[in-house]
């Protein structure tokens, strides 16, 4: 596998090894290059912004594959003007056992997964045959370093952004045994304050972790998110806050989400979608990912492109109908410049690619070239 196609996150290594030794491929080469060789030629002259902050091009990588400041700095040097620091917590949090990433092969002719389809429960084939267009499992469990480690590292990541580039910190609250709802809300606020202390200009709150449980996604409770974002905004003040969502099939629930947050002035944007939860099986129909509680996994990449575009279009329609001002960040299945353009047409103000960027380090440059 040549350098250009080698994923910057090595799916054949543990999360811990990737954190300590990564990134790989072209991202590693970008880090080894002199600092002045940071990607200047591919800057766009778009005059775009992300959550009010000027950027060269509102395109980048969402929370997930950029594990620390080495990964985010390499992303900047490869022309990704938005680099999201992998979701952090108020405490150290372990990763699911290896493996975390498998190739996923939906049955449909176009390789897509449809929210609510029987296939998601019956089982989707997952193996190590990574084909393009690429779809993968996302079975990490949102690991986090202790704040004593991630705070100084996030500060370094913010400082490494070049002109027209922006470090976007991701964070979420942590559920632990015996925690009350008020404690859960307070944990979000505490984590947001810790992020704010690093000098972050914007931040994204994850409410869509598939590893919290198939039926326990925070984004399925808009009223609770409304209370959480009120507590968060008391800590971060006028720092723009974006909320990351999973696919929400019900229009009324999506409108309630918007009214409970944007309508109350606590949220300035939505990032969507995270993943689609599916039961993953091997060629014999057995559980593909080993371990208790890992029958299902979030699936990302090409398979969720249609669902991501649908969510963006529905949010854009709500924005217009309600007369509210909020940003929309389109995520899901962006593997080509054409996918980027489709999200922009659907109403996205910014676009991000995780799986596509992992396997194509030149994606940002190719989008700017077109």
In the chain, the N- to C-terminal Cα span, in Å, equals 26
State residue 36's pLDDT score.
47
Residue reference for tokens 């398979």:
303
pLDDT digits (tens, 9 = 90+) for 294-307: 999 999 999 999 99
CA distance linking residue 101 with residue 97, whole number of Å: 11
Query: Lowest-confidence range among 13-27, 33-47, 170-184, 287-301?
Result: 33-47
Tell me the percentage of the chain whose pLDDT exceeds 90: 90
Q: What is the mean pLDDT of residues 254-265?
A: 97
Cα angle vertex 95, ends 243, 193, to 5°?
A: 40
Band of the pLDDT at 44, cuts 50, 70, 90? very low
State residue 46's pLDDT score.
60
CA distance linking residue 243 with residue 266, whole number of Å: 10
Band of the pLDDT at 216, cuts 50, 70, 90? low
CA distance linking residue 242 with residue 170, whole number of Å: 9
Q: What is the mean pLDDT of residues 143-149?
A: 98
9 alpha carbon, distance to own chain's centre = 14
191 pLDDT above the threshold of 80: yes
> Comparing C-alpha atoms, which of 34, 10, 9, 180 is closest to residue 86?
9
- For the entire predicted model, the pTM comes to 0.95
pLDDT digits (tens, 9 = 90+) for 45-63: 467 999 999 999 999 999 9
246 alpha carbon, distance to own chain's centre = 10
CA distance linking residue 331 with residue 146, whole number of Å: 28
> Comparing C-alpha atoms, which of 368, 363, 369 is closest to residue 25?
363
343 pLDDT above the threshold of 70: yes
């Amino acid at each position: 596998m040549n350098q250009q196609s080698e994923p910057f996150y090595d799916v054949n290594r543990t999360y811990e090894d990737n954190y300590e030794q990564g990134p790989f491929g072209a991202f590693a080469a970008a880090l080894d290059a002199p600092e002045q060789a940071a990607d200047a030629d591919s800057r766009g002259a778009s005059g775009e912004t992300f959550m009010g902050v000027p950027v060269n091009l509102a395109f980048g990588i969402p929370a997930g594959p950029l594990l620390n400041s080495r990964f985010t700095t390499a992303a900047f040097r490869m022309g990704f003007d938005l680099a999201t620091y992998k979701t952090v917590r108020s405490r150290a949090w372990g990763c699911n056992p290896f493996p975390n990433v498998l190739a996923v092969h939906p049955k449909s002719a176009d390789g897509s997964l449809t929210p609510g389809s029987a296939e998601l429960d019956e089982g989707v084939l997952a193996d190590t045959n990574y084909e393009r267009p690429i779809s993968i499992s996302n079975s990490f469990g949102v690991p986090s370093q202790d704040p004593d480690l991630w705070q100084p590292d996030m500060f370094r990541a913010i400082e490494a952004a070049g002109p027209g580039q922006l470090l976007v910190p991701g964070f979420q609250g942590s559920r632990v045994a015996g925690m009350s709802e008020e404690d859960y809300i307070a944990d979000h606020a505490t984590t947001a304050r810790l992020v704010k202390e690093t000098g972050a200009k914007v931040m994204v709150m994850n409410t869509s972790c598939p590893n919290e449980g198939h039926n326990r996604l925070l984004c399925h409770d808009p009223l609770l998110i409304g209370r959480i974002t009120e507590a968060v905004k008391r800590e971060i003040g006028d720092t723009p806050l974006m909320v990351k969502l999973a696919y929400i099939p019900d229009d009324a629930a999506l409108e309630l989400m918007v009214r409970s947050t944007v309508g109350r002035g606590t949220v300035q944007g939505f990032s969507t979608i995270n993943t689609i939860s599916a039961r993953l099986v091997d060629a014999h129909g057995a559980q593909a990912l080993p371990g208790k509680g890992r029958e299902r996994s979030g699936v990302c990449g090409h398979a969720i492109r249609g669902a991501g575009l649908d969510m963006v279009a529905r949010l854009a329609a709500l924005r217009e109908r309600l007369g509210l001002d909020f940003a929309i960040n389109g995520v899901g299945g962006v593997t080509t410049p054409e996918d980027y353009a489709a999200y922009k047409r659907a109403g996205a103000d910014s676009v991000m690619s995780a799986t596509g960027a992992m396997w194509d380090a030149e994606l940002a440059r190719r989008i700017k070239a077109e």
